[in-house]
Structure 1
């Protein structure tokens, strides 16, 4: 086994979740070799055409990666490991939220600008989570991680989208199913975030759902409250000791960006790029 390739333990958990071949055709390239090839590509950031021959034909590996991104195979793998950890009580529901900017390589541009979803529009890449900022075309990865630093939800937006704007979508994407009957769990016990998420609307929405909030108040908000005197109201509750736990989301971002194919975006389609993040995230869950 080489670096970044699947361990036997990880493969045993992933194998039953992969699609089974249907119909007739030529020789079927082993799923494990394909996944190892995908992981090599994500680890190195190299072009698909440079995939080593030991992983098979690069077109076969790319086509299966594209197909699994489209049919939700990687999403099902991540959902499966989350359900397992929640069933055994390993998930810490004190959720930390943050985002990170990723530069888009020139190969990531040129996709069709048709259709879009909330938080993924921009002047340069409608529906592909590309936005123009001072450094050029960028994508922003928004994460909500549990108390161990493992992602519960992943949302892509254009790089010029404000964190507060994407926050409702990040929170709504938290959805961990039960192993048996019952509704999926969507509500964390507490949300920990930095000053970028300090807004009255966010605090109100979390309070209405009964979710604890640990978000520091911005200096301009403190000054505005002081100017209004007694009409400014009380300062929001804030516990510095709890806030120190927010570093888990920053460490998670660091672990994801160790993969060169994630630290720089090479995929034209936001769907494919998010699938890469989802696959690496699933491995983080499996290997933790």
Structure 2
């Protein structure tokens, strides 16, 4: 597999990628102080296709969790509006995690955070797919964890899967539920941390609006924003 050359200045290259993430600007508007825009773009594309940034996020989360006594996992999903430039590609929209709802083309970000609202796992899905379909994937290992979520995740099957994996679901029931379930609102309120997480990473304009045609490049920008969230807060 061809690896490509290393960047002449890794700090400048990463700073250029960060500038694009924060400002949401087109790649060809990258200031010259970060190097040639096309070179920075190609490094970002190459690293994205290799999954570098999602892997860095997983390592960052694993190192932090290894010294933490946090007992919560909180999941939720958020729609990310797709710009028209993100829709122009030869691959089918479904394969690029683009869905169509009444609001137009969008992507759904499924996130699992800890009790402090720091990202543990992130996945993308078409905006018209229900978040409960990706709940177990984004949760991962729940042994010994209390799982918090909103009413959108109210499902007997999901609860059973969490119990079988050694976790404890704390999910509020829907108003039309026939069979009652155990739920403590005092604990359930803690799920607000995942909403706060979405608010923080959406301050980065390349996350708030999807300009990326490929799933890999988009999740790389989101992962980089999540890594910065671990460092800053």
Within the alignment, does 1:87 sit opposite 2:43 as a pair?
no
In structure 1, how many angstroms separate the alpha carbons of the residues matched to 2:142 and 2:96?
Answer: 26
TM-score by length of 1: 0.76
What secondary structure, in the 3-state scheme, does the structure 2 residue paired with 1:95 have? strand
Using the TM superposition, give the Cα deviation of residue 188 of structure 1 relative to its aligned residue in structure 2, in angstroms.
Answer: 5.5
Q: 1:86: how far off?
A: 2.3
> In the TM superposition, what is the alpha-carbon distance from 1:252 to its structure 2 partner?
0.2
- Unaligned 5+ runs, structure 1: 1-21, 114-123, 173-184, 226-231
Gaps of 5+ in 2: none
Q: How does 1:1-288 map to 2 (within 5 A)?
A: 28-89=7-68, 92-113=70-91, 125-172=93-140, 187=143, 189-221=145-177, 225=178, 232=179, 235-288=180-233
Inter-partner Cα distance in structure 1 for 2:67 and 2:172:
33
Is 251-260 or 66-75 further displaced after alignment? 66-75
CA deviation string 1:21-63 (max 9, x = no partner): x89x7x9431111111111111111100011111111001100
Cα offset, 1:111, TM superposition? 2.3
Count of matched residue pairs? 231
- Flag the structure with larger Rg: 1
Is the 2:54–2:219 Cα contact (8 Å) retained in structure 1? Answer: no
RMSD: 1.8
Over residues 233-257 of structure 1, what are the superposed CA-to-partner deviations in whole Å (9 max), with x where a residue is unaligned? Answer: xx21101111111110000000010
TM-score, normalization by structure 2: 0.93
- d(CA) in 2 for partners of 1:112, 1:187: 42
Query: Bigger relative contact order, structure 1 or 2, given CA contacts below 8 A and separation 6+?
Result: 2
Shift of 1:201: 0.9
